[in-house]
């Protein structure tokens, strides 16, 4: 009969330890990947409820963009998305296809920002929280959300490519500093949120470089939050 010697035991022990290490190193990435996948799905579901499609009826045909709830009944978008829209010409498509009319209550062409207010029921509407754009760094992961090509809610993933793009160098005649991202930005994304890994808004998508591939730009969240604060100050001072 065969009897294991000390060398055989050492070899067996080494083999089982190696097998355990291989199994552990294989399972760990899978577990981390599954956790990341669940987090991404949860983030997308949260965004889906707070992001809207902005539809504008115009004389020469309809146009579309994106927006998101910043508080009950108020939606932020780009000025250029709703520029020139007449009374009763703006409608929002919310989660699950619910349509509702909206009107512009505050706008700033130079900042390319506008606030829309839902006409009608405003209860139980989710909104997104602000991130601090001062803390954003090149390489940070971000998600761009919106109504790409008018197909409905979409999410694309990328990174912050630059934090100090001069708006005038990208969009002639406009002032300010923009983020640059390689998250896919397409027609219809304008006005949608650019969010960080915590689901906080760090930018508002404002456009893409002409004839470019994955070179998009976003207004910094702190500038957008200041715009929202100026609206509340105008309401308080009865200047609207």
Catalytic residues, by residue number, are: 80, 112, 190
> At a CB cut-off of 8 Å and minimum separation 6, what does 185 contact?
144, 156, 205, 207, 208, 214, 216, 217
Nearest to 214 by CA among 142, 151, 158, 143: 158
DSSP bridge partners of 133: none
CA distance 145 to 171: 21
CA distance 223 to 176: 9
Q: Between vectors from CA 200 to CA 194 and to CA 205, what angle results, nearest 5°?
A: 15
Nearest to 188 by CA among 96, 26, 64, 68: 64
DSSP bridge partners of 106: 115
């Amino acid at each position: 009969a065969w009897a294991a010697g000390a060398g055989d035991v050492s070899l067996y022990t080494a083999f089982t330890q190696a097998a355990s290490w291989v199994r552990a190193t294989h399972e760990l990435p899978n577990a981390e990947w599954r956790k990341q996948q669940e987090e991404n799905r949860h983030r997308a579901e949260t965004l889906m409820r707070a992001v809207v499609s902005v539809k504008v009826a115009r004389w020469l045909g309809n146009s579309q963009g994106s927006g998101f709830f910043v508080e009950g009944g108020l939606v932020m978008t780009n000025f250029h998305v709703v520029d020139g829209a007449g009374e009763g010409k703006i409608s929002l498509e919310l989660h699950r296809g619910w349509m509702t009319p909206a009107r512009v209550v505050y706008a700033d062409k130079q900042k390319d920002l506008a606030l829309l207010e839902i006409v009608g029921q405003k209860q139980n509407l989710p909104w997104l929280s602000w991130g601090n754009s001062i803390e954003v760094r090149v390489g940070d992961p971000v998600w761009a959300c919106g109504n790409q090509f008018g197909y409905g809610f979409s999410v694309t993933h990328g990174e912050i490519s630059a934090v100090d793009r001069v708006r005038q160098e990208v969009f002639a005649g406009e002032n300010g500093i923009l983020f640059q991202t390689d998250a896919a930005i397409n027609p219809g994304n304008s006005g949608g949120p650019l969010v960080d890994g915590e689901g906080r808004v760090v930018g508002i998508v404002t456009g893409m470089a002409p004839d470019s591939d994955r070179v998009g730009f976003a207004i910094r969240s702190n500038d957008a939050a200041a715009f929202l604060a100026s609206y509340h100050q105008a309401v308080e001072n009865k200047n609207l």
